[in-house]
Structure formats: C-alpha cells, structure tokens
Structure 1
Amino acid sequence: MIVNSPPQSLLGSVVDVPGLLVGHFTLSERLTGCSVVLSPQGAVGAVDVRGAAPGTRETDLLDPANLVDKVHAVVLSGGSAFGLDAATGVVRWLDEQGIGFETGYGRVPIVPAAVLFDLPVVRAGDDPQARPGAEAGYAACQAATTTPPAAGNVGAGAGACVGKLFGLDRCMKGGIGNASVRVGPWVVGALVACNAVGDVIDPNTGQVLAGARTVDGKDLLNTHRALLAGERGSRPLPGTNTTIGVVATNATLTKAQAKRLAMSAHDGLARSIRPAHTTLDGDTLFALATGTEAGQVDLMLLTVMAAEATAMATVDAIRQARGVTTQTGRIPNADDLTNTA
C-alpha cells in the first residue's frame, strides 16, 4: 500500500507561484503514479530536454517558433511510455472545466508530459502490469490544490530510484521533491521527480546523499569517483532512468525567455546529480510563467533562481523518500545509510 501522510517539503514548492495547483495520484497496486501541475488560466510554457533517452508528449509545440504559447497543465508520470496516457485524463478533466486553447470550434487543453521508468520496482503482492493511465491523470487533477504538495514516495516519484549504474540491487530510493526561491517580487518554484542513473549530491557540501552502494550494500560508492577510477557498471538500458520536473515563475515571460528558464534549471540538476544528462537518462524540465507579476523582468536573476530551486527540489526528493522492500530486496533511502563516500 502507499505510504500514509507523506511528508511535505519545508523548502517551499512550485505552488508558491500564484496561478498554479499541484496534485498527485499514487497507485495502490504498485509503486508508481503521476503528478500534475495545473495552470487553469494558462501559463507561457517551454521545455528543455538534456537526457538522451526522453519519454515525452506535446513538447514540439513549446518551441518558441511555434504557435501555441500557453499550456494548461504539465504531467509528470511513472510507468515509462505507458505513463504518457495519464495526460489523456488531464485533458479530459480540463475539458470538463472548459479550460483550453480557443480554436473557434471548442477549447483544446494543452498538456505536455514527461515520464520516468519505474517498472522494476515491484513489491510482493503488487500487480506488475499496473501503470498510471488516464484515470490516474484525472484523479491527480481532482486532488490538485494550492496546498504545498507531498514529497517522497508519491505521484511520479513513487517508484523512482537513483544510483543504478552498478545494478538495481545496489540502488537507493528516489522520489519527488519541492522547493521555491523568493527575491523581491519574484518567485521561482520547482517540482522534481528524481529517478537518475547517477548519485544525488548536496550541492552545498558535496556530500553524496543517495546513489550506488558498495557491493555489500552497506555504504555509498560514489559513482562519479568510481567511473573516473576505471570501474564500470552493469550498463542499464537507455531510458530506464530519468529526472523530470517543472520550474515555474510568477514573472511575465515570452516563450523564448521561458526556454532560458528551463535551460538554466538544468544547471540545478547538474549541481545535484552526478553524473547528470547521461545517455541513459531522459532528463526533461518544463518551464511555466504565470505572469501574475508584471514588473520588468530580470532574466539573469530568474535563471539563477531557477537553478537554485531545481537543485533544492532534487535534494528534497531524496531527503523525503522512504525505503521500500521489493521482490528482489530492500531499496534503502538516504537515512538508511551513513555516507562514507
């Protein structure tokens, strides 16, 4: 069953940005789920994909050269490519609310999505065929509020794991995390589901928080150092790892400026995940600008804030995650190990 009363972040969240709501849905049949960031009034959207093995939907329309400039939701989901169907449920929910892009023949909700691979995380008694679909996306919309969202083993982070380069039997639990940064009238928030092949690092100390473990499973290996020392892992299949997320601001931005925000947010991933943006990951970050603050934009400041919020949210995902016991063994969380890496 899912964890009761999952923790909330103390770092703020993406809903600190006015105009946004977040909802999670976690399946009880297996550790997987989806998360939705709703922007009912529409938000200028962008995306930046840095991983080499992404799973996405509706990302081409976010190119600054293309027509539609506002989106009404972003979906983050587990379930690999199957999880992309969660966006269908979000589209249905938005349609029922009369929210969407006006075509003259009806409103069409614009809902980009990205997925992560969590299919191996199966506990005793789980249904390995259970995946987030349209009903999960719809339920996540029904649960969406402006309340700071839960973190850890919920929604898109329910089955996330990190540190998988040396095999699933030596990985640790990932999750979904939140953070926000405020400077003057500006707010930048982030929601990140971390399922990286690499380790997660505290960018302030350089400490490895969670990642690949030593052969005996008792200590952290430090994947970065191990690779530079010539060690080689089990080479997971491309696409079986990914960190996905949303970074948002209250600033009024163009699509091109929102693209810069998404690009800079990846700097936060690079600070908190090592290695990041690999050939085995599908790292994808969306940017949303709700435009509730109409002041003159300081894009330089906003990009710095985006990187900071994304790094903090990634760390939060790991700190809030809880260990799980699967059919193949225990996947510990960060608190289960003392870092000696």
Structure 2
Amino acid sequence: MSGQVGSNGMRPGRANCKPMAGVAQIDGVYAASVTNEEAGTGCTVIVCPKGATGAVDVRGGAPASRETDLLRPEETVDVLHAVVLSGGSAFGLSASCGVAEELERRGIGVDVGVGRVPIVSSACLFDLACGASDVRPTVADGARVAALALDGPREALSCGNHGAGTGCTVGKFLGPERAMKAGLGEHVERAGELVCGAVAAVNALGNVVDPESGAPVAGALAEDGHTVASDADAIAAVAAAAPWLRSNTTISCVVTNARLTKAQATKVAQMSADAYAHAIRPTHTTNDGDTVFVMATGEVEAPVDAVGMLAVRALEGAIVRGAREARSAYGFTAARDL
C-alpha cells in the first residue's frame, strides 16, 4: 500500500478497490485510512466539509464512542462533519481529536463566534489482541487521515486489512484460537439518482454470512479447522460464556446523498442495523459494541423507507466484503485461505 510511513508506523492507504466505487463518489464526501500493519491497528475517516445531517444507532452492549448523544433528533446541533472508525479500543478515540483539530485548521466546523468547532463522531473497536497491544491510533494519525481524505485522490478505500479493519477478527465465541481474520469493507448501491454507500469495520463476536444465500463467509472455525462453525455451536458457546467477551464490535458509517432531517436519518440508521442481523450471527450481543452512523448530504429527495432499504443493502455488502477481502494475519486465518 502506497504512502509515507508516519513516526509511529501508521501509513496512509488509498489503493483502489475495483470494481466497486466508494463513498467518495458522493458529492462533497471524502474518505481515507491510515494503517499500521505491524501493530495491527488503524483508523478510517469519512469527511463532509460542508456538513451532513447525522444520526447514529447503537445496539451493541459495549460501545466505545464519541459525540453520539449529540446526534439524537431532539438535540439542537444538526450537522456532522466527520465520522471516525478506529481500532485501539477506547484509546482509539484519540484519533477523532486529531481529525477535529485538522478540520479546525481548515476552517471547517460550526461557527461559534470565536471560531469554528467541527462536529466529529467516532466509534472504536477492540483490536488489541492483534499485533502490538500498546500501539493505538493517535491524535497525529487522526490529523493525518483527515488531511489525506481532503487532499488525496478521491478513490475507493482499500478493503480488508486496512484502516480500522487492520486488526479485525470474527467468530470469537469459541475462543481466540478458533477466530478468523476480517477487516474493512466498503460497498455502494444506487437507485436512480439516490446513492447509499457504507463503510464497515467487521470485528464481530459472531460469524459473517452471505445474506443472499445464508452461506458462511468467515467466523469461528469448526473442529476440522477448514469450515465455519454452525449457529448451534454459537448458541452453545455463548450460553457457556465463551472467552474473548467484550472484545468485539462492528462499526459502520452509511453515507447517502438523500435529503433527510435528523429524525429521518435516525430511522435510516435504525433500518441499517438490520444489515448486521442479516450478515452477522449472532449480533448486537452484550459483548459487541455495534454502532451505525449515518451522514446525509441532502442532494436528492427520496422517501425515507427507500433510503433505509438501500442503506441496508449497502451495509450488507460492506460487511461481507470486509470478511472476504481480509488476508490471513496475526495468527488468524482469512476466508480466502479456507
């Protein structure tokens, strides 16, 4: 992956993920990742300099997040400038501070009279068991990834072991020795002028399945080491309080060019969470921090339900792609090597 290596090993990544276009195909939206392959962590940012209508849906029982309360429909701030998806567990929230500082330097944010305050929301996932547990995305990485998004070429994100997906794993209900590698996924769906794109870092307790066929993609390895364990195995393992609890989270951002109010964007976020249920088994557990952000740029009039349906398809595609494009690393086998 091209890009200059930062002082802590993080490096920018923008390799094209053909044939799919990325969320940056939407006017006014920019995205980038920085990756530390050696340490097994990274972060990904989606930026809308002009501001988008923002929303969030949090269904997991153990989230690590920033500025989610602000996105509730009843709160008065109605603009969102960036969403940061980060590794590093709660430590990774530092990256969002760097994103905010870089946006402020560029004059992006809410005018508060004495300056501009960028509204930056973030969610983090647990990847400390991959690579180096004491290396996490930093303020400097956040500033770097924001600058890369705004100044670099508007290409699709690198998928798999990149950005927030670098240290992602799935299928942890049978313990770490049976888990598999997953990563970052991106997918875009169109319906006429309406566009919905999704970016997901897939780090679930459960297995990833193909929503169309129900076939397993990646997850807990069965005893033979060559196939994915069944739903029945998952139920039995979770009932027995399997190891690696609270080390799981799938974090996502849905971006659309639809014109939505905060309440409507919230409904789209709620509908989008169905993609988790379609593609991850089990999901929304007490030991996942599952979070879905929405950014709506306001360019196209469309029924809320149509936006939600298209967003579900985009997020399903991003989740499956995050599992399929991962590479085996840090002792975890990827789907492509089964």
TM-score of the two chains, using structure 1 as the length reference: 0.91
The 5 Å alignment of 1:80-99 reads 80-99=89-108
Q: Hey, what's the Cα distance between the residues in 2 that align with 1:190 and 1:116?
A: 17
Q: Which runs of 4+ in 1 moved over 6 A?
A: 1-5
- Paired residue for 2:280? 273
| 2:251 aligned partner | 244
Counterparts of 1:233 and 1:119, CA distance in 2: 24
Match of 2:305 among 300, 305, 308: 300
- Structure 1 equivalent of residue 113 of structure 2: 104
- The 1-side partners of 2:241 and 2:178 are apart by 11
Identify unmatched segments of 5+ residues in structure 1.
none
Q: Secondary structure at the match of 1:135?
A: helix
SS at match of 2:145: helix
User: Is residue 7–residue 320 contact of structure 1 (8 Å, CA) maintained in 2?
Assistant: no
**Alpha-carbon offset, residue 217 of structure 1:** 2.3
Once superposed, what is the RMSD of the aligned Cα atoms? 1.9
1:7, distance to aligned residue in structure 2 (A): 6.2
Counterpart of 1:61 (choices 70, 77, 80) is 70
Size of the aligned set, in residue pairs, is 326
Residue 148 of structure 2: aligned partner: 143
**Unaligned 5+ residue runs, structure 2?**
1-8
8 Å Cα contact 1:34-1:86 kept in structure 2: yes
The correspondence for 1:133, drawn from 138, 147, 163, is: 138
Aligned AA (1:61) = L
Contact 1:167 1:236 in 2 (8 A): yes
Distance 1:190 1:165 in 2: 26
Deviation of residue 143 (structure 1)?
Answer: 1.9
1:13 deviates by 2.5
Letter in 2 for 1:175: G
Contact 1:2/1:31, CA 8 A, preserved across alignment: no
CA deviation digits over 1:10-66, x for unaligned, max 9?
Answer: 333322322111010012540100000000110010000010110000111000100
CA distance in 1, matches of 2:15, 2:333: 17
- Once residues 2 and 151 of structure 1 are traced to their aligned partners in structure 2, the CA distance between those partners, rounded to angstroms, is 16
Q: Which residue of 2 aligns with 1:118?
A: 127
Tell me what 2:33 maps to: 24
Alpha carbons of 1:238 and 1:171: their partners in 2 closer, same or farther (altered >3 Å)?
closer
Q: How far is 1:225 from its partner?
A: 2.3
CA–CA distance in structure 2, aligned partners of residues 75 and 25 of structure 1: 11
Query: Aligned partner of 1:99: which letter?
Result: I
The answer as to whether partners of 1:20 and 1:38 remain within 8 angstroms in 2 is: yes
In the other structure, the counterpart of 1:180 is 188
Deviation at 1:231, TM superposition (A): 7.8
Q: Say whether the 8 Å CA contact 1:55–1:81 is kept in structure 2.
A: yes
TM value normalised by structure 2: 0.92
CA–CA distance in structure 2, aligned partners of residues 267 and 180 of structure 1: 17
Q: Which amino acid aligns with 1:321?
A: A
CA 1:203–1:2: 2 relative to 1, 3 Å: farther
Question: Which of residues 260, 268, 283 in structure 2 aligns to 1:261?
Answer: 268
Distance 1:38 1:2, change over 3 A: closer
Equivalence for 2:290: 283
1:228 Cα offset (Å): 4.6
SS for the counterpart of 2:84 is strand
Cα distance in 2 between the residues matched to 1:128 and 1:249: 35
Q: Secondary structure at the match of 1:112?
A: strand
Which residues of 2 match residues 225-236 of structure 1 at below 5 A? Answer: 225-228=232-235, 235-236=242-243
